[in-house]
Chain A
Amino acid sequence: MPWKNTKTDYGWLSKSIHGLSILVVFGLFALGLWMQGFDYYHTWYRTAPYLHKSIGILLFVLTVARLIWVMSHPKPLAIAGSPRWEQRVAHIVHTALYLLLFAIMLSGYLISTADGRGIAVFNWIEIPALPWALQGQEDIAGDIHKILAFSLMGLVVLHALAALKHHFISRDRTLRRMFF
């Protein structure tokens, strides 16, 4: 399998980033939900947010690199015979997925940095805070982070259903060409 995209298939680089993003996004969503209910004495009370933030920032780096890759390399051609509107909707959904991902990452960053503290990425590097913050920033950013995370999950379901529709109803290669 080539590492770059071809006219008919995604290369292994695109497939890997896509697959890894699925795992990380679901993992972060679940971790984010789960850690909210922790008792103060829960063993994971400190570890879970630390992992959530560290992995979230790594996903940001991965997603920026992914976007540069996507924009600088051609995608496989649209499946022959697929209607224009379908291609257009798919494109809008893909764009919205990227926008939501970045908005969620930004709002998450703004929660933890609202008091000027940076965010440690696995005690490896520290991402500094912005030099200014809004009044009540952690609360506003927190609400946005939550709403957008649920919105992303909704859109992911739509995205997956569309892929399944291609696989089982249209019986084309849309789903298979993105997986190994």
Chain B
Amino acid sequence: MLRNTLLACALASSLTAAPLMAEDYAIDTQGAHAFIQFKIKHLGYSWLLGRFNEFGGDFSYDEKDPSKAKVKVTIQTASLDSNHAERDKHLRGKGFLEVKEYPQATFVSTSFTEQADGKAVLKGDFTFHGVTKPLSIDVTHVGAGNDPWGGYRRGFEGRTSFALKDFGIERDLGPASQEVELYLSVEGIRQ
């Protein structure tokens, strides 16, 4: 709650500051038009899907100069939800996410390189389970335009994957389950 208030204050103060170069967007978590899902193989026989219910962030994107685009996302790790309370309890606990010690995961972009067909590569520092490592996200620009309620929105989707061991998660879920895939669908409201 306090964190949200602080975030709101920070956002408010940034709005009153000097005019910004790029267009700034706040990720629409209030209306839940943003999703962070993960996917990992179960025994190698099927996919297990889950998501993080609480996260927030913002991005800037200027169509005239996309290379200046920036993204920052903070995930509340305890909000992990795989639709099974006992499993979620395990995943939040020892050997996995250890959310009491590492309550947040963050992604802060360092570069954005646009390619053809609205595709792009977003690079940044990903901090997860107390470990910070560079992570590259394959991004697709989904669309942008006026919304029916007087606002302006822009959305991207992103895909990436990483090995759990790279971020110090030592519990072994089997040879087929070393890597987790992340899928992000993010809609921002222009501020």
Q: Contact between B89 and A142 (Cβ–Cβ < 8 Å)? A: yes
CB distance from B173 to the nearest CB of A (A): 5
In chain A, positions 108-162 with a C-beta closer than 8 Å to chain B are 111-115, 117, 136-139, 142
Stretch at the interface among B11-19, B79-87, B112-120, B160-168: B79-87
Tell me if B92 counts as interface (CB < 8 A to partner A): yes
Tell me if A180 counts as interface (CB < 8 A to partner B): no
- Select B85's contact among A40, A41, A49, A137, beta carbons within 8 Å: A137
Tell me if A39 counts as interface (CB < 8 A to partner B): yes
Q: How many A-B contacts are there with CB distance less than 8 Å?
A: 31
The chain A residue with its CB closest to the CB of B78 is A136
Given contacts A136-B78, A139-B92, contact A112 B174 (CB under 8 A): no
Given contacts A115-B83, A115-B84, contact A139 B89 (CB under 8 A): yes
CB distance from A39 to the nearest CB of B (A): 7
Q: Contact between B86 and A138 (Cβ–Cβ < 8 Å)? A: yes
Q: Contact between A138 and B174 (Cβ–Cβ < 8 Å)? A: no
Given contacts A136-B78, A139-B92, contact A114 B85 (CB under 8 A): yes
- Select B172's contact among A39, A112, A113, A117, beta carbons within 8 Å: A39
CB distance from B127 to the nearest CB of A (A): 22
How many residues of chain B are within 8 Å of chain A by beta carbon? 12
Tell me which residues across on chain A come within 8 A of B171, comparing CB atoms: 40
Tell me which residues across on chain A come within 8 A of B84, comparing CB atoms: 115, 117
Tell me which residues across on chain A come within 8 A of B173, comparing CB atoms: 40
Q: Contact between A115 and B172 (Cβ–Cβ < 8 Å)? A: no
Q: How far is the CA of A40 from the CA of B86 in the complex (A)?
A: 14
Q: Contact between B89 and A138 (Cβ–Cβ < 8 Å)? A: yes
Q: How far is the CA of A41 from the CA of B88 in the complex (A)?
A: 18
Q: Contact between B86 and A112 (Cβ–Cβ < 8 Å)? A: yes
Q: How far is the CA of A49 from the CA of B172 in the complex (A)?
A: 19
Q: How far is the CA of A143 from the CA of B172 in the complex (A)?
A: 24
Tell me which residues across on chain A come within 8 A of B83, comparing CB atoms: 115
CB distance from A29 to the nearest CB of B (A): 19
Given contacts A136-B78, A139-B92, contact A111 B86 (CB under 8 A): yes
